[in-house]
Structure 1
Amino acid sequence: MNALHDDRPPRGRGAQSTRFLVLYALAAAGGAASYAPFLSILLPLQVNAQWGAEGIRVLSYCAFIGAVAASVSNIVVGWLSDLTGSRRGWIVGGLILSSVLLLSMRFAENMSTLLAMIVVWQIGLNMMLNPLMAMAGDHIPDEQKGMLGGMLALSPAVGALVGALVTIPGFADAGLRATLITAITTLLIVPLLAFGRPVAIPALVTPVAADTASGTLPPLITGHAVRRMWLSRLLIQIGEATMFAFLLMWFISLDHTLTESFTARLFTVVLFAAVPLAMAVGQWSDRAGKPFMPLVVLSGIAACGMLTIALSTTSTGGAIGYVIFGLSAGVFLALHSGQTLRILPRPQTRGRDLGLFNLTNTVPSLIMPWLTLALVPLFGFGTLFMILAGLCAIACVLLATIRGKATA
């Protein structure tokens, strides 16, 4: 058996209700709405207004400290939610804490205060996000993991939409923007907590022995598979983070007449186009019983898209390359999130293990700036994008060669 065909017996019995799936998808979108507009728009605006020319330095500190706090808190909170056996209480607590900090952030008068508030906000945020993701593993069986991944593609699109909404010129000042974000986040998450009544599937939460050699674990749940899934996501995320941070600068280097509006529209179109595509591909993988084949294909397409970007000399060619990369990488990351829950070895440590997988979301923010600074001044963006294409290709090979019965 290989990564393209999963013939192991189902871990659970029956399917989760459509109602719960929809409520969960909305809550996951609320999670994205809670942080994406703040990190991409509100925080940079606040820093620029308060610190002016020193804003880049302050923002860099915020990004670094925030990534470290997110990495640590996600693992710790996941571990604690495993120990308590409860997800909902942590989600509620995280929602309250992160909302209070977001509403208070604009009152930070110096950098030390702002950094401290960023750390506490990240703790609250991950107190909400980790148990929310673990809840999917607790209730959604393997036979619906593809559909789950497809629905998760809605999250970044909603995050971008909320950011666009709160920044409509003349619509809201800084204080009202934060209030709107917390209100939208709450409206999206609370229905799951109040009305989400999942079908009980005991096999999904039954503790599993740690010894993979005992035969109690399904074949794909091995250290080999877990490591390759982790590393493949990290490699794709490095490319995604780099494009998110430097796409505008690269476009301007090709065509000085382009503005941030062009890049923003391109990002938005790609994010929303990825939603129906991810849902279609995810549902196909469920019906075909081939959960990993889309990941292999999508990472290969992402490599081709990045290669197209690297070879482009015009903004039109670059835009085409980004659409190819952005769509494939966006769908990949959504489906990967769903299938990650399939290969985590033990339900009793699901939250902690998801925290370790969350490092693939935070570590790229620490790697990407140094990689860019080391390459672009000497060799240009083309060399950087060629290396990123290579990383995507490596991710493709890693996924295509997962062995079903590898030793840990």
Structure 2
Amino acid sequence: MAETGAPRRQSLGFLLLYALAWAGGAMAYVPFLTILLPARMTALVGVSDVEYLGYVTFCGAVAASLAGIAFGWLSDVTRNRRGWIAAGLVLTILLLLAVPLAKDVWTLIGIILLWQLALNMVLSPLAAWAGDCVPDEQKGLLGGLIALSPALGAWSGAIATTPGLVSVDGRLAVVAGLVLLAVTPVLLFGRPRPFPELTAPPPVCADGDVAARPRGPAVRMWLARLLVQIAEAALFAYLYFWFRSIDPAMQDNEKARLFSVALTLAVPVALLAGRWADRRDRPFLPLVIGASVSAMGLVGMALAGDAGMAKASYLIFGIATTVFLSLHSGQTLRILPRSDRRGRDLGVFNLTNTVPSLIMPWLTISLVPGFGFETLFLLLAALAAGAVLLLATLPRGR
């Protein structure tokens, strides 16, 4: 613990190990859901791949929604974040390795359901662990470091899909190995400085009720993230097919590299914006700017007439959205109502990651066949603009 009167800061070593572990979660799902699963789906069902990808996305999102709340709550009750993370890690790796064994689409869907449960056994307690040991003065830095997660997740996809590196089925083994290497260090060597006030139960009022924080800011943060995540989820699941429609000659590795470049460029932007937010005590302003630029990128994608403009617009959208979501993850920890139910409440916030996957397939199936990706992107831009309105009037600081 810092000395009295000194700034309250968590050790940089723990923050870096934590950021690497969080990146391990992205390494598990980014290459799998954006590249490897769509390719596997095409191999199993051919021209029906988009339809079946919608089904598997829907079913997986339901499983992830329930698992996020359940495992977050269990880690609250047991006060054992590490144990749940370790168990989920083992199951996640085993299920990734089981994917090539699926010889029909329904077996694949079953594996994806179990994989979603296991992955959220890792991610929900891991998210709550940050709330247990990172003070408000470092929430912006935490958000900036979290931006490493999607970048490393995307680069893991680029590595796994490198032509000639491994067989198609062997790509999932590469991903599983990277996940293991990323998450294990914080479990073995992570020794965060204690901040007892962050884990102390909320006081009880004279009438016996728990004195929780106001819920208004949390609701608005939840809704804003939901709107941006709907846009992000649509691109996350259908980026493969959109680029294929723009440039049929684009290879899988080129798609993965473009995705990686956007997320990598977002890292220094998020770190600078997060540190600025900490120093100026303006935690929500970078979120407003990020959502605004995301909307602009989506408009550019809707108007893209060639591969060059499509790639440039996607880079704008990808960078801004990654900065927004990373910083949002850090700042969410400051507005949760109850410290003793942090894991459960973050599970509810995780619905902003999974509910879009319930909405997005039907939105895409309804709009893309008849109106094209252009109409979809304009609608998503309007949703991102709605997030700007929700966040623009939040209180300035602590």
Give the structure-1-normalised TM-score.
Answer: 0.87
Percent identical pairs in the alignment equals 51
Moved more, 308-317 or 79-88: 308-317
Q: What residue is the counterpart of 2:386 in the other structure?
A: 394
Q: For 1:366, give the aligned amino acid.
A: L
Q: For 2:390, give the aligned amino acid.
A: L
Q: CA deviation at 1:384?
A: 2.5
Structure 2 gaps of 5+ residues are: 1-5
Q: Write out aligned runs for 1:109-120 (5 A).
A: 109-120=103-114
Query: Residue 97 of structure 1 contacts residue 121 of structure 1 at CA under 8 Å; is this kept in 2?
Result: yes
Q: Which of 275, 279, 284 pairs up with 2:271?
A: 279
- The answer to whether structure 1 residue 194 and structure 2 residue 188 are counterparts is yes
Q: What residue is the counterpart of 1:372 in the other structure?
A: 364
Query: Residue 60 of structure 2 contacts residue 112 of structure 2 at CA under 8 Å; is this kept in 1?
Result: yes
Q: CA deviation at 1:151?
A: 0.6
Q: Which of 317, 327, 340 pairs up with 1:325?
A: 317
- The answer to whether structure 1 residue 148 and structure 2 residue 142 are counterparts is yes
Corresponding residue pairs, total = 390
Q: Is the partner of 1:342 in helix, strand or coil? A: coil
Q: What residue is the counterpart of 2:81 in the other structure?
A: 87
Q: Which of 279, 300, 303 pairs up with 2:292?
A: 300
Distance 2:17 2:50 in 1: 39
Distance 2:220 2:157 in 1: 34
- The answer to whether structure 1 residue 32 and structure 2 residue 29 are counterparts is no
Q: CA deviation at 1:225?
A: 0.7
Q: For 1:43, give the aligned amino acid.
A: L
- The answer to whether structure 1 residue 164 and structure 2 residue 158 are counterparts is yes
Distance 1:168 1:390 in 2: 36
Structure 1 gaps of 5+ residues are: 1-11
Query: Residue 161 of structure 2 contacts residue 253 of structure 2 at CA under 8 Å; is this kept in 1?
Result: no
Moved more, 290-299 or 250-259: 250-259
Query: Residue 301 of structure 1 contacts residue 325 of structure 1 at CA under 8 Å; is this kept in 2?
Result: yes
- The answer to whether structure 1 residue 310 and structure 2 residue 302 are counterparts is yes
Q: Write out aligned runs for 1:220-369 (5 A).
A: 221-247=213-239, 249-250=241-242, 263-369=255-361
Distance 2:39 2:242 in 1: 22
Note the alpha carbon deviations across 1:237-284, whole angstroms, 9 max, x for none: 111122334445555656666666654443221111001111111111
Distance 1:298 1:176 in 2: 37
Q: What residue is the counterpart of 2:3 in the other structure?
A: none
- The answer to whether structure 1 residue 17 and structure 2 residue 11 are counterparts is yes
Runs of 4+ in 1 over 6 A off after TM superposition: none
Q: Which of 116, 128, 145 pairs up with 1:122?
A: 116
Taking structure 1 as reference, are residues 215 and 23 closer, same or farther at Cα in structure 2, changes over 3 Å only? same
Distance 1:241 1:66 in 2: 13
Q: Is the partner of 1:296 in helix, strand or coil? A: helix
Q: What residue is the counterpart of 1:98 in the other structure?
A: 92
Q: CA deviation at 1:141?
A: 0.7
Query: Residue 158 of structure 2 contacts residue 260 of structure 2 at CA under 8 Å; is this kept in 1?
Result: no
Taking structure 1 as reference, are residues 132 and 372 closer, same or farther at Cα in structure 2, changes over 3 Å only? same
Taking structure 1 as reference, are residues 271 and 210 closer, same or farther at Cα in structure 2, changes over 3 Å only? farther
Give the structure-2-normalised TM-score.
Answer: 0.89
Moved more, 222-231 or 295-304: 295-304
Q: For 2:223, give the aligned amino acid.
A: L
Q: Is the partner of 2:8 in helix, strand or coil? A: coil
Distance 2:262 2:14 in 1: 27
Taking structure 1 as reference, are residues 118 and 374 closer, same or farther at Cα in structure 2, changes over 3 Å only? closer
